[in-house]
Amino acid sequence: MELRFTVNGQKQVLEVEPQARLLDVLREQLGLTGAKEGCGEGECGACTVLVDNLAVNSCLVLAHQARGRSVTTVEGLAPSGKLDALQQAFIQKGAIQCGYCTPGMLMSAKALLLRKPKPTEEEIRMALAGNLCRCTGYVNILRAVQDAAGTAESGEVRKA
Chain residues that interact with another protein, rule: CB under 8 A: 1, 17-19, 21, 40-43, 45, 48, 51, 54-57, 59-62, 64-65, 67-68, 108, 111-112, 126-127, 129-131
Rg (CA), the chain: 16
Residue 113 has φ and ψ, to the nearest 5°, of -70, -25
Per the CB < 8 A criterion, the answer to whether 95 and 141 are in contact is: yes
CB of 60 to another protein, least distance (A): 5
Q: Which is nearer to another protein, 42 or 137 (CB)?
A: 42
Burial of residue 127 (CB within 10 Å: 0-12, 13-18, 19+) is buried
Shortest spacing between CB 106 and another protein, in angstroms? 13
Q: Is 100 exposed, middle or buried (0-12, 13-18, 19+ CB in 10 A)?
A: middle
Our CB check for another protein shows the closer of 62 and 88 to be 62
> Nearest approach, Cβ of 122 to another protein (angstroms)?
11
Task: Specify the residue, 54 or 91, whose C-beta has the smaller distance to another protein.
Answer: 54
Q: Which is nearer to another protein, 12 or 88 (CB)?
A: 12
Minimum Å gap between C-beta 42 and another protein is 6
Residue 51: enclosing H or E segment and its boundaries?
strand 48-51
**What is the smallest separation between the CB atom of 130 and another protein, expressed in angstroms?**
2
Please identify, using beta-carbon distances, which residue of 91 and 160 lies nearer to another protein: 160
Return the number of other C-beta atoms located less than 10 Å from residue 90's C-beta.
26
